[in-house]
Amino acid sequence: MTETKDKKTFYITTPIYYPSAKLHIGHAYCTTIADAVARFKRLAGYEVFFLTGSDEHGQKIQRTAEEQGITPLEYVDKIVASFQELWQKLEISNDDFIRTSEPRHHKVVQDFFKRIQEKGDIYKGEYTGLYCTPCESYWTELQLDENGCCPDCHRPVEKVSEEAYFFKMSKYADAVLKHIEENPDFLEPVSRRNEMINFIKQGLEDLCVSRTSFDWGIPVPGDEKHVIYVWFDAVINYITPLFGDAEKMKKFWPADIHLVGKEIVRFHSIIWPCMLMAADLPLPKKIYGHGWLIIGGDKMSKSKGNVVDPMLLIDEFSADAIRYFLLREITLGQDGNFNRDALITRINADLANDLGNLLHRTLNMIGKFQKGILIAPKGENEIDKSLKSDAMETAKNYRRLMENMQISDAVRTVWKFIGRSNKYIDETAPWTLAKDETQKQNLANVLYNLAESLRIVSILISPYMPATAKKIHDQLKVNQPFEKIQLEDAETFGRLEDNHEVGKPEQLFPRIEVK
């Protein structure tokens, strides 16, 4: 995936979130996917850079702060702190967090602006048009919905007319169209790709990139009464931590994946690539437009009043249970339903039962029949052979599916193997073997194979449920430090040593009683 870079590196981003409201579980969905991919890549031996942040400028923030009688910065400081707290609670492993109000970001945006301006791709003109403040988007008459409102959020647009700077986006329309058409991997899934191709074919106008009607933003260099358009400022966050540092730039740029929601694919697959072309920088390798989390058939959003607070869910069910649900239940690229009953069913069936029981039964039997000590296996029968080959097949499929961003399929593959391991217990009936002295080695083989299966499972689930993976690792008392474990360790069966002592079983997930 990163052949053009000099090292095995991987750079993934989420969008930067607006601090206009509390984050809901729909936002957490996007960040959880990115986190699972980042953790998977680290496991696969990549040096990963995972970026998220907050998109703090714009008229809407300024207005809200004014209404509350505080400065925009005072307003965003509090909300952004709550984002960071949420990501911590959800075990998001981001390597940096960009606040667009930070001086380091201002500098990069202004440098980027000047670079394009000096090239002649930014010019001053007069803007008259229709602006949607909540979406911070400009629209033409033709693009409005049937009620003359914003085609994205369906709220009224405002007519604005002012002196403004423009970016010569039209100049890059053909090049960006060609890039999308010639590189099927650049924009996924294919439905979004087709949508964007049609959009560009209708013609791209130059983009208005400055405003004078408010000042909560980054000033245009040399003409401070203008602030830079919030989307122009926002997408640049993806290079903020790298720009101006040649080594970092070489190491991580172009980004491997910008993971974004489907409604902002246009900004990422058209505007941002045009900006990068103008700045003579390589384009990101992939834009992935995921679907929405919907609730009762509607997109979850604050304006619809149907949001689910992720903090409360985490407190009630644990971060790992929420992460598991989001990754398992929704096929990436499609919309998916969030439903409390479905969440509880998954926790009870997949986590408490399938995974919890496998761990509990295995450690319990090793404790009871062999005083907690594993004995190296000798010989194997057909059932043992099939379990081992299933384990290796699972690890192989998992790697392929995760590489292809088929995350829910990868989760399912692991759970199929967990089910298979539970079945192995029933097939081999260790409690019967334990009654027969002549079956001692067979019993040892079974218990060893089960412990190994769990060791492999704990590695494979670590990108999805890092805390649970660590608990299994600790209960198995695997010698290797958890942080040093690599995907390759799950691709060999038989790593645990003769005489290895395992721990006592502790519950991973309590069953949720349904009222």
Which residues of the chain form contacts with ligand MSP (CB under 6 A)?
15-18, 26-27, 29-30, 55, 234-235, 237, 260-261, 263-264, 292-293, 299-301
**Cβ-based nearer residue to ligand MSP, 301 or 406:** 301
Least distance in Å: CB of 505 to ligand MSP?
A: 37
**Cβ-based nearer residue to ligand MSP, 257 or 366:** 257
**Cβ-based nearer residue to ligand MSP, 237 or 269:** 237
> Helix or strand or coil: residue 281?
coil
Least distance in Å: CB of 234 to ligand MSP?
A: 4
**Cβ-based nearer residue to ligand MSP, 227 or 293:** 293
**Cβ-based nearer residue to ligand MSP, 41 or 266:** 266
Element (H, E) at 274: helix 272-278
Which of 450, 463, 455 lies closest to 410 in space, CA to CA? 463
Least distance in Å: CB of 392 to ligand MSP?
A: 35
* Cβ neighbour number for residue 142 with a 10 Å cutoff: 7
Give all strands of the β-sheet with 293-295 in edge-to-edge order: 298-299, 293-295, 336-337
DSSP annotation of 212 reads: S
Alpha carbons 363 and 508: distance in angstroms, whole number = 13
**Cβ-based nearer residue to ligand MSP, 291 or 356:** 291
Which of 350, 254, 231, 267 lies closest to 12 in space, CA to CA? 254
Least distance in Å: CB of 197 to ligand MSP?
A: 21
Which of 327, 325, 354, 321 lies closest to 408 in space, CA to CA? 327
Element (H, E) at 25: helix 25-43
**Cβ-based nearer residue to ligand MSP, 73 or 376:** 73
54, 27 in Cβ contact below 8 A? no
β-strands 287-290, 187-188 pairing: parallel
Alpha carbons 188 and 308: distance in angstroms, whole number = 27
Least distance in Å: CB of 287 to ligand MSP?
A: 11
DSSP annotation of 307 reads: -
**Cβ-based nearer residue to ligand MSP, 80 or 366:** 80
Least distance in Å: CB of 237 to ligand MSP?
A: 6
DSSP 70-122: S-HHHHHHHHHHHHHHHHHHTT---SEEEETTSHHHHHHHHHHHHHHHHTT-E
Query: Residue 509, Cα to own-chain centre: how many angstroms?
Result: 24
- Nearest 5°: the CA angle 111, 112, 114 is 65
Least distance in Å: CB of 194 to ligand MSP?
A: 19
Which of 343, 374, 347, 351 lies closest to 472 in space, CA to CA? 351
**Cβ-based nearer residue to ligand MSP, 46 or 272:** 272
Least distance in Å: CB of 63 to ligand MSP?
A: 16
111 Cβ neighbours under 8 A, 6+ residues apart: 243, 244
Alpha carbons 396 and 63: distance in angstroms, whole number = 53
Least distance in Å: CB of 263 to ligand MSP?
A: 6
Residue nearest to ligand MSP as judged by C-beta position: 261
Report cis status (omega within 30 of 0) of the bond before 254: yes
DSSP 158-221: EEEEEEEEEE-GGGGHHHHHHHHHH-TTTEESHHHHHHHHHHHHT----EE-EESS--SSPEET
Alpha carbons 73 and 103: distance in angstroms, whole number = 13
Q: Which tokens belong to 357?
A: 């029981």
**Cβ-based nearer residue to ligand MSP, 304 or 423:** 304
- Gyration radius of the chain's alpha carbons: 26
Least distance in Å: CB of 394 to ligand MSP?
A: 29
Taking the CA atoms of residue 133, residue 136, residue 139 and residue 145 in that order, the dihedral angle to the nearest 10 degrees is -60
For residue 220, CA distances in Å to 107, 113, 165, 205, 380 come to: 11, 8, 9, 21, 72
Least distance in Å: CB of 305 to ligand MSP?
A: 13
**Cβ-based nearer residue to ligand MSP, 260 or 313:** 260
39, 93 in Cβ contact below 8 A? yes
Least distance in Å: CB of 275 to ligand MSP?
A: 11
Least distance in Å: CB of 485 to ligand MSP?
A: 31
**Cβ-based nearer residue to ligand MSP, 119 or 302:** 302
**Cβ-based nearer residue to ligand MSP, 25 or 355:** 25
